[in-house]
Structure 1
């Protein structure tokens, strides 16, 4: 498979649209527009999740979850000279923010900003040895004074990195918000492929662009509450280890272009994992394996323990330089991930039993 033009345009539109946790409305409009023609129903719940549903049948309920929110900031204070200060949304390394071009997303449109600190020439010797703290950074929008700044931005306006992306060699793509626009794209594109396949689905497929994962897996909890899935697969990014300083002994051998990562461990239902591996091999879809020995820090965590329990899987997209302005992925990996999830949905029926059991060959 290769990503067709409409799916590629959807990816780039989503990557260029702001979606800090709690402020996902803009990107969710992009999601709805893309998937609506292929779904029996698309709805937005009170929390902000966008849920696409396939035509109803007597089969099991299958939920795909990919969070659309990204880390960001929000305006917390404007000082007397017109400089803007901000709180973070999600997990930031402040070193990543120094010298970045930023955008403040106001009700009247985007406002360009830069974020910086005291120049190195003016730092005292002891200051040069210190790790920069968030409190030492500010945003400059070019305002002449506090009044002009306050007329332009308001407390609580969300902020993102400049959402520009650049192609690297091969099929690599770099920029902010790969975490987790790529996972969201995967579950929505998988829905489109499964819904337009020659044979009708024998399951009830719900693909969800979830919200607020970065601040506590919140959207997946509420979406699962309304869907009550029998089976669920979350798609998120994972750390690629094919670059300097990453310890493969701990992170595994995860490569860009090596295919989607099928995760094994106690958070995952072994029958779901087995089905994913079998489908990848049957359809010549490259894949990689990773192991996580605890509850995962993503939507799979809350999906597994919803209600009386959900047969849960996790498919991950290799990502270099996570939570930075230069997150880097392979577009082949998300294409293969979407194909794998499409095949999973097409394979699912009422005959399936995901109760854990001893493997036949053990």
Structure 2
């Protein structure tokens, strides 16, 4: 069972809207939690947040995860007051129809629904086509543009209204586990390390970075500023243990079988090897996945910053990614801060990771 305070933190973090470029509210929740375990916390110009433990230690280890979720924004209001949208990140228009949404305005939240034409009215139109994002419209219950403009304005971010629930046992569902599970995990790592500070040689910088879903931007900023000697990145990966998903194409990743360790490209071989050693020592189950060119995560930009930061990606299996019903195992999730804390404690004073050339 997850510690109650940690579960409450996860639930609050997931339920707090944090669209790309508008992460402030979620970042405040994160900072409020980590400050109890850090010697120093701060944020930068764009809202990347950092919590530091054992300041002045060496090497400097960055634990990074992105705070933002996919979303939409107000793009156009028609004469009847219906709102058309732009996507912010990888929104699937086909599953966004008929969803309840919240528009986050300067005056507060405005509720709405994404309109969906009843099948009775389209049965003679032939096969229904998948909608594009520009086909979606939001109904906020007004009759004309002027009424809508009194409530919302162009650029206001929009998130789905779905929130955290326990589905069964340790299986949980939410709209935005991608990637609040990561920011939760780096915060929990700091909590686990705080009582072990006397044993800790490394300086640990837990990072909740912004705007991953729209271009990995926050990770580029904060990795450049912090100049870490090594980085562990936490994100979600696709669980492939449900119908219609090709394991031959996407690998064999299961819910409940532990976090996944990524091999290839941006993942530094010596760091991956150390993670495997630490996991074996602490009896933490690992799954494995391979990438070819890129991982699709912040690891892709952190590893080449400032001439190369040794990096490794740890991922939580996630069913139905980028949907209102992302499903994860909390048991899998708890292993991730345990693994990262053990990795941090394994570091020797001044240790650097290098590929040995024979």
TM-score range relative to shorter protein: over 0.9
**What is the alpha-carbon distance in structure 1 between the residues aligned to residue 22 and residue 184 of structure 2?**
18
Partner of 1:193: 192
The 1:222/1:134 distance shift into structure 2, 3 A limit, reads same
Cα distance, 1:26 vs structure 2: 0.5
| Aligned 1:47-126 pairs, distance under 5 A | 47-123=46-122, 125-126=124-125
- Shift >6 Å, 4+ stretches: none
Q: Does 1:150 align with 2:149?
A: yes
**What is the alpha-carbon distance in structure 1 between the residues aligned to residue 2 and residue 283 of structure 2?**
16
**What is the alpha-carbon distance in structure 2 between the residues aligned to residue 353 and residue 206 of structure 1?**
16
Unaligned runs of 5+ in 1: none
1:121-148 deviation digits (Å, cap 9, x = unpaired):
2226445331122222210111132222
1:32-71 deviation digits (Å, cap 9, x = unpaired):
1000111111101101111111132341110011001000
Partner of 1:9: 8
**What is the alpha-carbon distance in structure 2 between the residues aligned to residue 291 and residue 358 of structure 1?**
23
1:320-359 deviation digits (Å, cap 9, x = unpaired):
0000000100011110011101111111123534111379
Q: What TM-score comes out, normalization by structure 2 length?
A: 0.96
Partner of 2:244: 245
State which drifts further: 227-236 or 290-299. Answer: 290-299
Q: Does 1:166 align with 2:165?
A: yes
Indicate conservation of the 8 Å contact 2:103/2:109, yes or no: yes
Unaligned runs of 5+ in 2: none
Indicate conservation of the 8 Å contact 1:195/1:201, yes or no: no
**What is the alpha-carbon distance in structure 1 between the residues aligned to residue 249 and residue 194 of structure 2?**
38
**What is the alpha-carbon distance in structure 1 between the residues aligned to residue 215 and residue 252 of structure 2?**
28
| Aligned 1:202-213 pairs, distance under 5 A | 202-213=201-212
Q: Does 1:215 align with 2:214?
A: yes
* Matched pairs, number: 358
**What is the alpha-carbon distance in structure 2 between the residues aligned to residue 334 and residue 357 of structure 1?**
32
State which drifts further: 288-297 or 300-309. Answer: 288-297
Indicate conservation of the 8 Å contact 2:59/2:352, yes or no: no
RMSD over aligned CA atoms reads 1.5
Indicate conservation of the 8 Å contact 2:189/2:338, yes or no: yes
